[in-house]
Chain A
Amino acid sequence: MRRTVADGLRSTVRALVYAVLGGTALLAVATVVAVLGPVLALDLYTPAVAAWWTVFTAVAVQGVPFLLLGTVVSAAIGAFVPERVLRRLLPRSPALAVPVAGVAGAVLPGCECASVPVAGSLMRRGVAPAAALAFLLSAPAINPVVLVATSLAFPGRPEMVLARLLASLGTAVVMGWLWVRFGREKWLRIPGRDTPHTTGVRAFADGLQHDFLHAGGFLVLGAAAAATFNIAVPRSVLDVFTGSPWLAVPLLALLAVVLCVCSEADAFVAASLSAFPATARLAFMVVGPMVDLKLLALQAGTFGRAFAVRFASATWVVAVASSALVGWWLL
């Protein structure tokens, strides 16, 4: 009995001490923050930081409708399209399914944020990964919205649109075939939602919420990276490299990776890089929708980091080669 009283007393004292100490500490912190906070916040809120926040929120805001479209389509595929329908639509052999899926990319009118969840959902529904990957690469690059934007950005130069179409489709198909030949299942984490057997409206709502939240988080991550590079790399640096096509092509292809311009807008940015040779600008437009920091984050989130790094670097190389080839032929 005495022991419990002593225990009670001890814990009361301890609680009191904690309360006093914690309260004092909290008060001190609050005072310091209240006094120094506004000063510090104003000091830290330089034009560069403000511009970072603006670009960061801009990329995220712009991505939301496209991401939602992509997740709606992907959740709809997951919930309403039976596997055998997709199986019947695509040729049995992956090597033949790849070009079909690549061309089918033309029907998803969105930018790259939309295509990642859709590709994930296709794999989940039993589409060969190679075909789904070809679709993933081609959809944001060759859909009608993007091609019309390209023709608007390069008035009087229809060969630019054709070159973009061919080089992008070529890259997508080659990457699909490369995956058929060299891809390893263990690199790829096929995105399994944990309720694979339910279908219908509830599965749709659950899938939508999960996919949107998941991809949205990675979109934010990518937006942060894009904003950082946007603020850190001045575009005037580029002028140094405009002279040599051997440098200009890989340089603009790298720029496409770090700038993360939406595929519906990148033609206008490419058009504004008027000091560069046409082939380099083509490379910018071919690489942009297939490899950029925002996409890398989305892919890593959906398919796993091991896959995203391998796939993105291989795609970059193939895309640069394909645009160099098509550019040399057409432009």
Chain B
Amino acid sequence: MRRYGGAVLLLLTGAAVLRITVFGELYLRYVQAGLRPYLIVSGGALVLLGLVSLATTALPGRRGRPDTPHGHPGAPDDHPGHHHGPAGPRVARLLTLPALALLLFPPPALGSYSADREAAQRAAQGVGTFPALPAGDPVTLTVGAYSSRAIYDSARSLKGRTVRLTGFVTHGDDGAWYVTRLLVTCCAADATTAKVEIRGVDAPPTDTWVTVTGTWRPKGTLGSDAAWPPLLAATTVTRVRQPADPYEKP
């Protein structure tokens, strides 16, 4: 059995990657959408490599390496910390940890816990004009886009528009509550926070996903710290399901 360890690890890793990309959209909890094709190719390649390795190990009569199937024909292992069992490097067994986690209990998307821990970041940009908002009433915006228009748009394009934002609920001190979204560039490790303070309606419980409709209420001078976090005077709050992609792109 141990002879097949390397092949099993490759199959396990490949299967985990394919599970979250091909069979569902779980990968969006961990990495950005653009990585999907690369993940699918990698998962497929790993499964293929695992199968090839399994086949060459199982088939008898492989030339020249009867009992060391994975390319380690008993050469003296002269470097410390680099232990090779018959199934390949021992440290590789660690791969089972994320692989099994993804296959059996895929970890949830980051939520209010991570948002609370990080001081919400304002995207670094200067005050200036933005492209015109799309037509429609209400107009659907990302939390990040709403924030930057509210804080940096010298043309005040949000003025007089009804907007609709989707995010999860977080609570601040003194009863304020926010519609919050995490911004992920590459993977969940680089998540930053964008949030909009909601006025005028009662707060749902923390981590509930909601869609809020309302109008912009200006505050502070453009581009200053006082303008942050931006305000939204809400008219309706509806609970929604967590979107397939729980994060926004910055």
Q: Which of B85-93, B134-142, B170-178 contacts A (4 or more CB under 8 A)?
A: B85-93
Tell me the minimal C-beta distance from B202 to chain A in angstroms: 23
Measured between beta carbons, the chain A residues less than 8 angstroms from B29 are 54, 58
Q: Cβ of B42 < 8 Å from any Cβ of A?
A: yes
Q: Are B108 and A54 in contact (CB under 8 A)?
A: yes
Q: Cβ of B169 < 8 Å from any Cβ of A?
A: no
Cα of A230 to Cα of B117 in the assembled complex, Å? 10
Cα of A226 to Cα of B189 in the assembled complex, Å? 8
Cβ < 8 Å to B, chain A residues 194-224: 194-195, 203, 205-210, 212-214, 216-218, 220-221, 223
Measured between beta carbons, the chain B residues less than 8 angstroms from A271 are 123-124
Chain A 40-70 interface mask (CB, 8 Å, partner B; 1/0): 0000000110110111111111101100100
Q: Which of B9-17, B159-167, B210-218, B235-243 contacts A (4 or more CB under 8 A)?
A: B9-17
Chain B 198-236 interface mask (CB, 8 Å, partner A; 1/0): 000000000000000000000000000000000000000
Cα of A264 to Cα of B31 in the assembled complex, Å? 13
Chain B residue with minimal CB distance to A57? B98
Chain B 51-80 interface mask (CB, 8 Å, partner A; 1/0): 011000000000000000011110100011
Cα of A222 to Cα of B43 in the assembled complex, Å? 21
| Candidates B93, B95, B121, B188; contact of A272 at CB < 8 Å | B121
Measured between beta carbons, the chain A residues less than 8 angstroms from B179 are none
Q: Which of A93-101, A130-138, A231-239 contacts B (4 or more CB under 8 A)?
A: A231-239
Query: Contacts A55-B188, A64-B42, A262-B187; is A217 near B91 (CB within 8 Å)?
Result: yes
Query: Contacts A53-B107, A64-B17, A264-B186; is A274 near B122 (CB within 8 Å)?
Result: yes
Measured between beta carbons, the chain B residues less than 8 angstroms from A59 are 187, 189
Q: Cβ of A241 < 8 Å from any Cβ of B?
A: no
Cβ < 8 Å to A, chain B residues 25-66: 27, 29-31, 35, 38-39, 41-43, 45-46, 49, 52-53
| Candidates A58, A203, A205, A218; contact of B31 at CB < 8 Å | A58
Measured between beta carbons, the chain A residues less than 8 angstroms from B31 are 58, 61-62
Q: Cβ of A304 < 8 Å from any Cβ of B?
A: yes
Chain B residue with minimal CB distance to A203? B71
Cα of A231 to Cα of B188 in the assembled complex, Å? 12
Q: Are A61 and B187 in contact (CB under 8 A)?
A: yes
A interface residues, Cβ below 8 angstroms from B: 47-48, 50-51, 53-62, 64-65, 68, 154-155, 189, 193-195, 203, 205-210, 212-214, 216-218, 220-221, 223, 226-227, 230-231, 234-236, 239, 259-262, 264-266, 268-269, 271-274, 300-301, 304-305
B interface residues, Cβ below 8 angstroms from A: 6, 9-10, 13, 17, 20, 27, 29-31, 35, 38-39, 41-43, 45-46, 49, 52-53, 70-73, 75, 79-82, 88-95, 97-98, 101-102, 106-114, 117-119, 121-125, 185-190, 192, 250
Enumerate 6 A-B pairs (CB-CB under 8 Å) in ascending A order.
A54-B30, A54-B107, A58-B31, A64-B46, A195-B73, A234-B117
